[in-house]
Structure 1
Amino acid sequence: MSTPPSPPAAEQTDGSAVRIGALVPLTRPGWVEAGQHLLSGLELAVRDVNDAGGIVGRPLELVVRDTAADPHTAEAAVEELARLGVAALAGEYHSVVARAAAGRADALGLPFLCSSAVLDALTEQPTELIARLCPPQSRGWRIYADFLLSAGYSRIAVAAQPSVYWASGTRILRDYLAERGGTVIELDMSALTPAAMCDELVDSGATALLLLVGHPEPAVPLVKAVRHDQRLAEILIGAPAGQPEFTEWATLLSDDGAAIPFLRYLPERLTPLGERVETALREQLAEAPSFVAFEGYDTIAVLAEVLRSHGADRTRIAEFWPRVAVEGTRGQIQFSRTPGISVWQWAGAPVQVVDRDPAEPDRFRILHADSRDRGRDE
């Protein structure tokens, strides 16, 4: 595509600041807790950049817009931020929302570093303007499928709501498991109550149930229904999209929310930067930071390095993605082209399957990992 020139410098700054637009879900129906963690990571990184001298002497400023998990709201926010002259966009947690934002940003010639949205098809066509930190859904969910198979689960039921994201996850699981002798049974949660789903689950003969649904509704009622149905006492409940990561899950479900494996994007050990950031985030959030908070921090760390190297010109920012080499909180970040992915992708993003320990629900157990993270508790 032909990238429009950046607005004049006077339109790009508030005073002397270099501005980055941040997209985060901060109100319902967005996943508010995820949005708060993402924003905390973004804000901490901005403070650290400014404490270290800013962008070649100019302060970095975050211009935050709430997407509320709504694609149309996100598109409007992208248009507003482009008019305000931000150098680039950062953030977003919800995949369908990020896809809408990425499409609009691409059309407007505005670089976007997506923090947390995994949907493979983040844009309709390949683009030079968009990059992503989190692993694509096809990679993470195949690792999750490997975990299921290695643990002896091959007949898998998925309780899914209608959504491009959930449909994509179902397809990834079905295709990957089918090649390895597994089976996926689809349960349409737009037509089933929790009690009816339990009946279907019993009849299906599935040994695992994956929750491909929103949080807290209907995920929490579904977990409670299964946990208290004696017919399903031996079934594994899983949540590959990461619902159990956040404190709200444990608060709403207590012991029922433990032993539900989910995907988390953290390494075995954080980098020295990551250890320092973890301490600061824990103080800022008054709780343990989720992987989403680290994604937020790393997003700004990358953008700050790009801005220092190439200034706030949007075209030059987009040209720099393949040359990025930044030590983040979770490892060295570099972008490349990944087959089937339309944006610049951090191919080395860490992936783990973890759950909450039934004996101590605030503690996570690492059950499976993509690299060296196997077998560690924390």
Structure 2
Amino acid sequence: MTTLPSPPATERADEPSVRIGALVPLTRPGWVGAGRHLLAGLELAVHEVNDAGGIGGTPLELLVRDTAADPQRAAAAADELARLGVACLAGEYHSVVARAVAARADALGLPFLCSSAVLDALTEQPTERVARLAPAQSHGWRIYADFLLGAGHSRIALAAEPSAYWASGARILRDHLAPRGGTVVELDARALTPTAICDELAGHHVSALLLLVGHPEPAVSIVKAVRRDQRLTEIMIGAPAGQPEFAEWAALLGDDGTAIPFLRYLPERLGPLGARVEAALRERLGEEPSFVAFEGYDTIAVLADALRADIEDQAGDAEFWSRVAVEGTRGRIRFSRMPGISVRQWDWPPVQVVDRHPAEPARFRILHTG
């Protein structure tokens, strides 16, 4: 298992380095599995950049801070990292946490590359200091809604917890499905037990239930309850946020966790760089790397490219991201302005809807691409 490096190995005040502050959820209530994969990708790429000569001959140094999915803790970590002289900030998986980091980075004048969070409104106002690798939620979740309609699901139930991220996802689904004849029924997953959710599903006669809830709980308990309810054998369970991507899902649910479509951001086939990185990540993690691990690797690849250009050309805020043109593990990465998105955006990473194969839970099936 990947663990945080000890402070002496991570923060070498007596040696010159180009420092990157990495913000990652490594303890609960953060999504620890996602954080571990994200950090593995970040660390692997830093190692490879340094093996290739670093940034203009100076090594990269990763200063890691655990956000534990806490926006206030993450903002405080951003302030601390700024005091330690980082050149930029990177990482984070949880959207509400990434939004807090983006606000602090913008106020501090630090570039921040968001690796994995997808919330459209990452900053209140347009900024040149923040960029994002993951697709905006409105892009990915519309692709998921198209998958639902194509699979014959027009009456959908959402088991949702209150948060800006889940509320945004629910709105995207409603707005995309309604003009196409779809109906969305919302169930309060915080107020209803899994058994009560099953009763609601039976009464509403929906064909699909989407989990807009945290992992492992209450997602795991809801899946188990629905799978065991004989009234709901024809209902498809979906998880657009990607809960089934990680090995913990399969370990907790076994066969019950299969055939649950989710979004992931990988191409149908990896190129030579992606295949090489996949093998290195598998060795580092001791398991199949998730798309989040690739996001971590690509984050450092982008920042190394941007930092080299910044040193060579003294690029300002407006040019820090616009000059990036780098081959990532999942395709060529450039950033641009997208309508309705307040930060620089890679437009777009590959998007798939996949599930775990019922006959082989360790294998993924591609159901739809966008």
Partner of 2:110: 110
CA distance change for structure 1 residues 17 and 231 in 2, over 3 Å: closer, same or farther? Answer: same
Deviation string, structure 1 residues 233-254 (Cα, Å, up to 9, x no partner)? 0000000000000000000000
Q: Determine helix, strand or coil for the equivalent of 2:162.
A: coil
How far is the alpha carbon of 1:309 from its aligned partner? 1.5
1:263-320 alpha-carbon deviations (Å, 9 max, x no partner)? 0000111121111100000000010000000000000000001111212999736522
Q: Name 1:226's counterpart in structure 2.
A: 226
Q: Which amino acid aligns with 1:248?
A: E
Aligned partner of residue 362 in structure 2, secondary structure: strand
Could you say what the CA RMSD is over the residues aligned between the two structures, in angstroms?
1.5
Gap change, CA 1:22 and 1:314, over 3 Å in 2: farther
Give the secondary structure class of the aligned counterpart of 2:322. helix
Structure 1 SS opposite 2:55:
coil
Show the counterpart of 1:336.
336
Aligned residue number for residue 5 of structure 1: none
The question of whether the paired residues in 2 share the 8 Å contact of 1:12 and 1:19 is answered with: no
Say if 1:110 and 1:314, in contact at 8 Å, map to a contact too. no
Residue 376 of structure 1 corresponds to which residue in structure 2? none
Provide the C-alpha distance between the structure 1 equivalents of 2:263 and 2:360, rounded to a whole number of angstroms: 19
SS of equivalent to 2:187: strand
Residue 166 of structure 2 aligns to a residue whose secondary structure is helix
For residues 134-181 of structure 1, what are the alpha-carbon distances to aligned partners after superposition, in whole Å with 9 as ceiling and x for unaligned? Answer: 000000000000000000000000000000000000000001000111
> Which residue is 2:196 aligned to?
196
Is contact 1:111–1:314 with CA below 8 Å preserved after alignment? no
**CA–CA separation in structure 2 for the residues paired with 1:76 and 1:355:** 37
Question: Is residue 29 of structure 1 aligned with residue 29 of structure 2?
Answer: yes
Look up the equivalent residue of 1:255 and give its one-letter code: D
Q: Residues of 1 paired with 2:62 and 2:341: CA distance? A: 28
> Identity over the aligned pairs, expressed in percent?
77
Work out the CA distance in 2 between the residues paired with 1:57 and 1:17. 9
Q: 1:87, 1:313 within 8 Å by CA — same for their partners in 2? A: no
**Counterpart-to-counterpart distance in 2, 1:324 and 1:50:** 19
Equivalent residues in 2 for 1:1-378 (5 A)? 15-311=15-311, 316=316, 319-370=319-370
Deviates more, 1:68-77 or 1:313-322: 313-322
Deviation at 1:323, TM superposition (A): 1.9
Q: CA deviation at 1:37?
A: 0.1
Asked if the contact 2:128–2:317 (Cα under 8 Å) also holds between the matched residues in 1, the reply is: no
Q: How far is the alpha carbon of 1:16 from its aligned partner?
A: 1.2
- Does structure 1 conserve the Cα–Cα contact (< 8 Å) formed by 2:309 and 2:315? no
Taking structure 1 as the reference length, the TM-score comes to 0.93
- Matched residue SS, 1:323: coil
Amino acid aligned to 2:316: R
Structure 2 contact 309–323 (Cα < 8 Å) conserved? no
Structure 2 distance, partners of 1:138, 1:160, is 17
Partner Cα distance (2:53, 2:306) in 1? 15
- Tell me how far apart the structure 1 counterparts of residues 347 and 165 of structure 2 sit (CA, whole Å): 20
| Cα deviation code 1:188-220 (max 9, x no counterpart) | 112100000000011011100000000001000
Using the alignment, how far apart are the partners of 2:350 and 2:243 within structure 1?
18
Q: Counterparts of 1:49 and 1:14 in 2: how far apart (Å)?
A: 21
Number of residue pairs the alignment of both structures matches: 360
State the one-letter code of the partner of 2:21. G
Structure 1 Cα separation of the partners of residues 190 and 21 of structure 2: 35
Letter in 2 for 1:339: P
Q: d(CA) in 1 for partners of 2:141 and 2:54? A: 38
Q: Unaligned regions of 5+ residues in structure 2, if any?
A: 1-10
